[in-house]
Each structure stands twice: as structure tokens, then as C-alpha cells.
Amino acid sequence: MSVSRRQLLARTGAVGAGIAFSGAVEQLFAGSASAAPTGGHDGYGPLVPDPKGLLDLPRGFRYTVLSREGEPLRSGEGPVPSHCDGMSAFPGRRGRTWLVRNHENRPDAEHRVPAVRGVTYDPAGLGGCTALEVDAAGRVHAERVAIAGTAVNCAGGPTPWNTWLTCEETEDKAGTGNYTKDHGFIFEVDPYDQARTVPEPLTAMGRFQHEAIAVDPRDGTVYETEDAFEKPFGLFYRFLPKRPRGGSGSLRAGGRLEALCVPGVPDLSVVQEPGTSFDHVEWKKVPDPLAAQTPIRFQDFGSGGVTHAQKLEGCYWGGDRVYFVSSFAKTGDGSRADHFGQVWSYEPRHRRLTLVIVFGPDTDLEKPGESPDNICLAPQGGLMVCEDGNGAQHVFGVSRRRTVYPMARNRQNIGTDAEPEWGECAGVTFSPDERTMYVNVYTPGTTFAVTGPWRR
């Protein structure tokens, strides 16, 4: 039975100008870098229209444009590539920060990631990553290619040893289009030194339509989401490395790839009640991680199969658990039930899977509240979410009072005055000192640094 917008709004308590979540939102504060304000807060006030027409922010906040697609890279390697997507921040010297930024380029991308010698996997792949060194004042001191020759680099995630795992959201093999090598892999990128990046895939971690990853810092287990575009939908994976203590290059030693199985639940969309938990879920070994003949989600996992979900996207580690996002589910696409976004948590110690939050959109598409994508923990407590839905595109937060508040809105209209359109926000992350939020706009590719009274 499908769920209407009105039914889902009623279930999630979305009323008035605020949009509420249902679920154990307190969980989202357990893994934050610092304590949340007592009692929480409901945001920083309304967004103020940006006279420059780039990014609306609450009063007291300001942005700096760090980089825009088509402008020259400071390294001289070519133009800033298109389609800025997943991103993370790493500590640098003298209080600076290194950003590693994905470029989700397909064959039609206007600006490819330049094919730099030594860090290019497949010359026909137009995607990859760039790295920026920035200071607290928003000045860019370096900007260069970090890896090239990959394809459709959507998201990824940081490792405890300060590297970035960039994920290809494709299953195209060599011979598809102009590709000379198979794609659909994860690659490890060194933020600090181009020469330390090895442009070879981490094949044991699987070949599928990757989205994002999160690493358990205690044992090195890597959790992976799959954003498959057609039924059967994607899986939630864990990779058990042979070298669990980690370190740069350690994932090349291989390991075991497994897929989540919730007994009796073939599709996570059927779970509609926030707070629902499943104890002692199972993990099943992937028969062929390289998907030489059959995509992993089609493979035979034996009795009971595995559990699928539509639009598995954002993934991050917080406290003692991993969180992951299903952006939406539609029965018209083949899902078992409808929803407008879920956040799940998995606690490895107890083998417990919990539906933490169900999103419900307001009827006003100018406001946030549907199709969560990239996510991260905010230093002031709670969650920051990049929206990838209809209408205006925001970064929005989740407060302890279980409400959603807008943090930023992309104002760059890539449509027309009569039919406006805005590119999604992506790659939200915070500087190591927690004073700056970095975020991308996908199209036109733009990277912003946002500062202001975060502790207010």
C-alpha cells in the first residue's frame, strides 16, 4: 500500500512553517565532535536573500567562494572540473585545512578532471577528485588534481588515517563507450601529496554503483552504500579488511565483502515506524565482488537472500554506530512502499539495525524536507543534510527538538525565470577546528566556505 504525502506528513508531524522528523533524534548527538547546547535549538533564524544571488544564509553567517568550475586550477593543470559532489576536510599545517572534492563526471561533462600523469586510472574516465588547501580566512593556497581517470565519482568518505575513499557510481566495463578499464570501484586518495595517491582500484571492496562509505575507527570495518538505479535496488555492505588496524594503502591487502540481510525484510522501505529495531541482523558473503558476469545485487546469496533499498546514499560514522540514508522510495519504481527519506543506524556491537528518522516534505517545495543525500555530523550537535529533491535546494539541519531548519540555500538558477531550477547541494563537511562549514553546489560546480556563530 502506497503512502500519500498527506499521510506521511501526518505521521511525521510536519506542521506550520517547521518540518518535523519522527524518530530517536537524540541518537544523532551521540557521535558529534562536541557537546550540543543544552536543550538544543531550532536553527539560526530565517535565511537572508543573498544580493549576489549565490547562497542564502541566516543572519550573522557569511560565505567565501573558494572555487568555481571552469576557472583555472591554481596548479595550472587545467580548469576546475564540473559536478562538484562528495567532499571531506582534513587537518593541515599551520591551522589550514585540506579539502578533497569529488567530481561526478559522466561522458557529457563540460570540464573533465584533467588527466595528470601518475594519478590517472583510465584516460577515458572524466571524473576524479581535486584537492584544495585553504586557511581559516577562506584563502586558497593550493588547488590541484588528486586523482583522475575515474568515472561518476559521487561520494565516498574519510578514513581514520586521513585519506579519502572516492566511490564510482557506475558499473560500466572496459569497452563501454571509450572506457579502457572496468569501472565501479573505490579508490584511495591522499589529500596532502599527489605522489602518494595510487590510481588503482580497491577491487576487494566490490564493483558496483557505489555511493558513500564510513569506517569504524575501532576495527577498520568499512560500510558501503549502493545507489542502484533500477530494481533490484542497492545493498548495504560491510568490508572486513585483512589489515584491520588500517593505514594508508592497508585496504589493498584485501578482505571480505558482505551484504546486509534483515531476515524477513526484503526491502527496507516496508519499515515505516521510526524507532523500529532489528536485533542480530545477518551479513552474507558476496559471491563475486568483482561482478565479472552478474552485478552483485543480482547474485545468489542463498536462503533468505539479502535486503535491498532504493537510493542508498549518505553514510557516516558517529559514536558507536554507522548511519546511512535512503533518499526516497517509490512503489512506482518498484519499491515495496513509499517514503520521502530515511536515516538508519547500525550498531556493530549489538548487531542492531534501527530506523532513526523518517522524512516528510512540506507541500511548499521552497522549503526543505525531502530526499536527503550527503550527510555529516555538525559540531554544535545534530545533523547537517544536503537536499537533492524538487524545487529549491538546501543544506538543512536537524535539531534536538526534532525539527528541520534551513542552513543554506543555493540561489544559482540554472533554469529560466519562468521555470527556475537549482543544482543540488553536496559534500557538506566541517573544518577540523569546527569553525567553518564547507559545501558544494553540484551545478554550476561551486565550493563555499561558510563561517558564523555556530555556537549561538
The model's pLDDT over 47-80, given as tens digits with 9 standing for 90+, comes to 999 999 999 999 999 999 999 999 999 999 999 9
Is residue 383 a part of any domain in this protein?
Answer: yes
Report if residue 374 sits inside a domain: yes
Give this prediction's pTM: 0.91
The answer to whether residue 456 sits within a structural domain is no
Q: Is residue 198 part of a domain?
A: yes
The three cell numbers of residue 422 are: 537549482
d(CA 284, CA 295): 16
91-104 pLDDT, tens digit each:
999 999 999 999 99
pLDDT bin (cut points 50, 70, 90) of residue 17 is very low
Torsion-angle region of 294 (φ positive above 0: left; ψ -120 to 50: alpha; else: beta): beta
CATH number, domain containing residue 262: 2.120.10.30
The answer to whether residue 13 scores a pLDDT higher than 90 is no
Mean per-residue pLDDT, 224-253 = 95
Cell representation of residue 362 = 512540506
Domain contains 295: yes
Please name which of 388, 422, 436 lies closest in space to residue 85, comparing C-alpha atoms.
388
The answer on pLDDT for 437 being more than 60 is yes
The residue range of the domain holding 308 is 5-451
Please report, for residues 38, 101, 135, 252, 324, the alpha-carbon distance to residue 89 in angstroms, rounded to integers and kept in the order given: 27, 9, 12, 23, 19
Residue 396 domain-assigned (yes or no): yes
Report, as an integer, the average pLDDT of 251-256. 97
Per residue in 102-112, pLDDT tens? 999 999 999 99
Positive or negative torsion for Cα 260, 265, 270, 271: negative
420-436 confidence digits (pLDDT tens): 999 999 999 999 999 99
**Residue 454: pLDDT over 80:** yes
How many domains does the chain divide into? 1
Does residue 158 form part of some domain?
Answer: yes
From residue 196, how far is each of 53, 117, 200, 252, 358 by CA, in Å?
39, 13, 12, 14, 41
Cα 351 to the center of its chain, rounded Å = 23
